[in-house]
Structure 1
Amino acid sequence: MQRLIRHLESRAGWRALVTAFGLGALASLAMPPIHAIPVLLLALPGLVILLGKAESWKRAALLGWAFGWGHHLIGLYWITYSILTEAERLWWLVPLAVPLLALWMGIYSVIPAVLAWKARPGWPRVMVLAGAWVLAEFVRGWAFTGFPWNLMGSVWTFSALPVQGAAWIGVHGLSLVTVALACTPLLGRRAMAGGLAVLAGFGAFGLARLWHVEPEPLPVTLVLVQGNVAQEAKWREESRWPIFRRYLELSRQGAEAASQEAPGTRPVIIWPETASPFLLADDPEARRIAAAALPPDGLLLAGTVRAEWGPDRRATKLFNSLVAMGPDATVSAVYDKAHLVPFGEYMPLSGLLPIRVIRGGVDFGAGPGPVAMSLPGLPAASPLICYEVIFSGAVVGKERPGWLLNITNDAWFGISAGPHQHLATARLRAVEEGLPLARAAQTGISAVFDSRGREVARLPLGETGIALAPLPAAGRPTPFSQLGLAIPAILTAVFLMVGLAGSVRQAKLATT
């Protein structure tokens, strides 16, 4: 550590910025699906050392920005795949999109860097960095509609055991602990021993939570249907019927397998986001054909586009929706996605930008937000379409549902880290809320988690098929589900206040 400190302290000028960039890129390797968590023991202390040599707050801000740029450039590389699905039209964005997005996301590392630079060396600086880092995560989840992707607490999602603390402190609380523990090598052996004790405590807490036997699952068999349809083929006119037939055939196979493997249970067939190439809510013939694939007691929960029509029978508004329908082809419930993706589902500053990334002339409309969707013969579900699942503390409405239902189209991101990172956030929501979660993804990864985040079923990335799983019972409301972001917000404030107070005290002692 002393050799590392001397080496990093010798970095000056542009070399320090390049080093900060490299340390940020290194830190991204701790994220899913690699989970190389030990790299944080180098990356975050390295940032602290560089900040300690900064001669001004402006220099500290640049170092933080460089670190964040490298971190997000590597962590978000997979966004390029979504552009390549329309390479003939958007080819010019390929070398620009991710570097510019990462450059923007790097701004969120500026405040933690500046506040840590202002703090005194030692434990005050570490506590301020951890608190300010999570403060920036809160802002990132809210500003400009929010993009809380790859929060630092996500590094622990490789298993259910290390994320059980999220039931109390949420993913932001895990981020707080992770940043602080990663910096303990700077504080000496006692601090490192204390960090190991904290890790052991979290492990013991996780074992205690997982020791309890889950309640008996409900008499329902979930049938996750993964059509594995490539995004570039999805909306071609000649592909519509072949895609529809694929989902119908997989649904029939799933219903038959459910009757054989779990007789006496009700089959609930789940299609991913926009799986239907026809507007099911508006197309009686498509609903009739889909209903024919259902068993007499079956239920289909399907992702589809829904439209509102003008007097000339032209669509005036589109919705990214989930519809529930039974064998009688009647739609019993509809949920419209509320948290839309900028540039993907609507154009910000419509009419002012010289380009239009999304096709067509109609933006998607937003639904009312998290709801407990009533389903015939089932516990109410909280539908979460695509990245709605990444917003901690915002996946459940006023009424507590019996389970979380996430449908998504990760075909945009190809065979990359993106779908793994998306799945990791879904697991965290199950633990935070104490609710089982079912996830159907167009190309994967489809999965079912119980209320403690244990994996019940999975379909790997890039495979066509079905996965069967019982619907796990809901757990008891967790402290996080009752208090939401208040708990990690209070912890963040405590870290910041204690760290800043320690800095003031040390400054006074230094002057006396």
Structure 2
Amino acid sequence: MLTRPLLTALIAGFLSATGFAPLDLWPVTLICLAVLLHLTWHAPSAKSVLLRGWLFGVGHFTLGNNWIQHAFDFQDKMPPVLGYFAVLLLALYLAVYPAVAMGLAWRFTRLVKARWNEPDLGFVLAAAAAWIVTEYLRGTLFTGYPWNPMGVIWVPTPIAQLAAFAGTYALSGLTLFVAGALYLATQHQYRVSLATAALLLVSGFALNPGQPVEDMTRPHVRVVQPNIGQEGVDQPDYAPRVLNKLAEWSGAPGAVPRLVVWPEGMVNYLIEDGYPRAYYRQGDPRWVRGRIGGLLGARDRAMVGGNALFFDGEKLTGAGNSVWTVDPAGMLGQRYDKAHLVPYGEYLPMRTLLAPLGLARLVMGDVDFIPGPGPKTLDVDGFGKAGVAVCYEIIFSGEIIDQRNRPDFLFNPSNDAWFGSWGPVQHLAQARLRAIEEGLPILRATPTGVSAIIDAHGRLVGTVPAGQEGAVEAPLPAPLPPTLFSRLGNWLALIAALASVVLAIAIRRFAR
């Protein structure tokens, strides 16, 4: 098949996506990346290598993002079949990044030549550096879409712990390096491959955090999953039905203080005061807050997700995808407004142009969401400081923590009911990688799963599986001291990329 490089690139890209959840076939991903490096090395021209890298990306992102189609099943204004086109169109764009990465690696081999014309360690290092840079750009340009960075394939293994030292993008570069070592082994260059295998083996033993141990002296957290999705969201009984189910699984107060956390946007009532009276059609917000507070003991607290409204005088200008703390008296504490909104999901870009064409945002409603100011740490009495990352904000490496006021844990309320069977488990894997990077436990609450308590090493303390209603309660995991990544952020990725390029140049010049 390698005689048909374009078809091979497309198939290899498609299969490479099986290394992510739910399949977790990460050795397959490494093999597919090795194939991509082979195709890159043997490309006869810049145009051909860009096309091969792009087709690899088309296959990779089409399968990896298949869950996006499911979101269109809940939007009456657009047919569900449009979701399949959305997946493909997104893949056509995202594929540009691996194409550029391979183009840069190919160009490097032409600019910095060795004595022999065969793949070497310099080529592999150049490819790893290029991948780091282009994957970072994928996560930042045009609001960014860093879903499933290549480093996420290591989450089921101890190698993922390296993210605490170098971050996700550098871990992705390591993934390309390991794939390159496999490729060099097929070219009878075994020293790099054996050294890489030994390094991974030693790292795996050294970094393995073992099984999580619960500290029973710490206050408890209870993560609630009502297992109520988007079906019937426009029905009049939806709001009380959801609230009743959340209350049912919130449990009863006990001797140990509890932090009860609910999923994103599950309070379908307005709970803030001060809005024009016409907007309180569903009831007095004091009643809703009282209902929540009544579930709590004297030392308990809750963190709940709902919508805030923004006005210009009496005119509604937008909504916030928000999280509040609630005390036993039903009083609201601090509020966090989601800052990194989903284009076409929570707001419609270029609304004046696209709305007349029949396009609408996927989240139901007549007004767009308005972004909040960015990372914020909330004080939760009795439980410490909470950082908040609503839904897919958790996938943005290095962008979710207020560095001036480091939290003790992160709360990640999400609504993954939109995302079929692949999206929720991929989302969970990326949340686990954020926990490792920042050295912070994460409380992840979703309506339909997967809800989880994640410790600061990214280990699952407890979960509620997808498609089940229930709750998981455990002592709140303790944070770790600030990691190297939490101090330096994605500057570490830049350092790793630059170091790889410098080493690649040195190797090739020495080989002359």
Q: TM-score, normalised by structure 2?
A: 0.90
Q: What is the CA–CA distance in structure 2 between the aligned matches of 1:196 and 1:143, rounded to whole Å?
A: 34
| Residue identity matched to 2:414 | T
**CA deviation profile, 1:311-360 (whole Å, cap 9, x unmatched):** 44x53220000011112111011111111111111112231223432243
Which residue in 2 is equivalent to 1:4? none
Which residue in 2 is equivalent to 1:305? 307
Which residue in 2 is equivalent to 1:420? 425
Q: CA shift at 1:101, angstroms?
A: 0.6
Contact 1:430–1:452 under 8 Å retained in 2: yes
Q: What is the CA–CA distance in structure 2 between the aligned matches of 1:235 and 1:430, rounded to whole Å?
A: 35
Unaligned runs of 5+ in 2: 110-118, 274-284
Q: What is the CA–CA distance in structure 1 between the aligned matches of 2:425 and 2:488, rounded to whole Å?
A: 28
Contact 1:281–1:323 under 8 Å retained in 2: no
Q: CA shift at 1:289, angstroms?
A: 2.2
**CA deviation profile, 1:48-95 (whole Å, cap 9, x unmatched):** 222233221011111110000100001110111111122673334133
| Residue identity matched to 1:27 | S
Q: Is the aligned partner of 1:122 residue 2:120?
A: yes
Which residue in 1 is equivalent to 2:149? 151
**Given the superposition, is the C-alpha separation of residues 315 and 372 from structure 1 closer, same or farther in structure 2, using an over 3 Å criterion?**
same
Q: What is the CA–CA distance in structure 1 between the aligned matches of 2:359 and 2:382, rounded to whole Å?
A: 43
SS at match of 1:473: coil
**Given the superposition, is the C-alpha separation of residues 376 and 496 from structure 1 closer, same or farther in structure 2, using an over 3 Å criterion?**
same
Which residue in 1 is equivalent to 2:113? none
Q: What is the CA–CA distance in structure 2 between the aligned matches of 1:102 and 1:366, rounded to whole Å?
A: 26
SS at match of 2:170: helix
Contact 2:320–2:371 under 8 Å retained in 1: yes
Q: CA shift at 1:277, angstroms?
A: 1.3
Q: What is the CA–CA distance in structure 2 between the aligned matches of 1:132 and 1:88, rounded to whole Å?
A: 41
Which residue in 2 is equivalent to 1:327? 328
Q: What is the CA–CA distance in structure 1 between the aligned matches of 2:215 and 2:242, rounded to whole Å?
A: 36
Q: CA shift at 1:98, angstroms?
A: 0.4
Q: Is the aligned partner of 1:241 residue 2:240?
A: yes
**Given the superposition, is the C-alpha separation of residues 216 and 242 from structure 1 closer, same or farther in structure 2, using an over 3 Å criterion?**
closer
Q: Give the length in aligned residue pairs.
A: 483
**Given the superposition, is the C-alpha separation of residues 363 and 138 from structure 1 closer, same or farther in structure 2, using an over 3 Å criterion?**
same
Which residue in 1 is equivalent to 2:290? 288
**CA deviation profile, 1:455-477 (whole Å, cap 9, x unmatched):** 21111111101110111111111
Q: What is the CA–CA distance in structure 1 between the aligned matches of 2:252 and 2:47, rounded to whole Å?
A: 62
Q: What is the CA–CA distance in structure 1 between the aligned matches of 2:382 and 2:414, rounded to whole Å?
A: 24
SS at match of 1:219: coil
Q: What is the CA–CA distance in structure 2 between the aligned matches of 1:218 and 1:276, rounded to whole Å?
A: 31
| Residue identity matched to 1:365 | I
Q: What is the CA–CA distance in structure 2 between the aligned matches of 1:53 and 1:356, rounded to whole Å?
A: 44
Unaligned runs of 5+ in 1: 1-6
Q: What is the CA–CA distance in structure 2 between the aligned matches of 1:31 and 1:218, rounded to whole Å?
A: 36
Q: What is the CA–CA distance in structure 1 between the aligned matches of 2:70 and 2:366, rounded to whole Å?
A: 23
Q: What is the CA–CA distance in structure 1 between the aligned matches of 2:124 and 2:234, rounded to whole Å?
A: 51
Contact 1:300–1:325 under 8 Å retained in 2: yes
Contact 1:333–1:374 under 8 Å retained in 2: yes
Which residue in 1 is equivalent to 2:475? 470
Q: CA shift at 1:493, angstroms?
A: 1.4
SS at match of 2:237: helix
| Residue identity matched to 1:404 | L
Which residue in 2 is equivalent to 1:276? 267
SS at match of 2:94: helix
RMSD: 1.9
Q: CA shift at 1:237, angstroms?
A: 2.2
**CA deviation profile, 1:430-481 (whole Å, cap 9, x unmatched):** 1111111111111111111111122211111111011101111111111111
Which residue in 2 is equivalent to 1:3? none
Which residue in 2 is equivalent to 1:89? 78
Which residue in 2 is equivalent to 1:456? 461
Contact 2:325–2:333 under 8 Å retained in 1: yes
SS at match of 1:183: helix
Contact 1:112–1:128 under 8 Å retained in 2: no
Q: CA shift at 1:307, angstroms?
A: 0.9
**Given the superposition, is the C-alpha separation of residues 214 and 95 from structure 1 closer, same or farther in structure 2, using an over 3 Å criterion?**
closer
**CA deviation profile, 1:134-167 (whole Å, cap 9, x unmatched):** 11111011101111111111001125x2311111
**CA deviation profile, 1:275-313 (whole Å, cap 9, x unmatched):** 11112224222212222222233211101111124544x
Contact 2:30–2:175 under 8 Å retained in 1: no
Contact 2:68–2:83 under 8 Å retained in 1: no
Q: What is the CA–CA distance in structure 2 between the aligned matches of 1:225 and 1:152, rounded to whole Å?
A: 31
Which residue in 2 is equivalent to 1:315? 316
Structure holding more helix per residue? 1
What does 1:162-241 align with in structure 2 at a 5 Å threshold?
Answer: 162-187=159-184, 188-207=189-208, 210=210, 216=215, 219-241=218-240
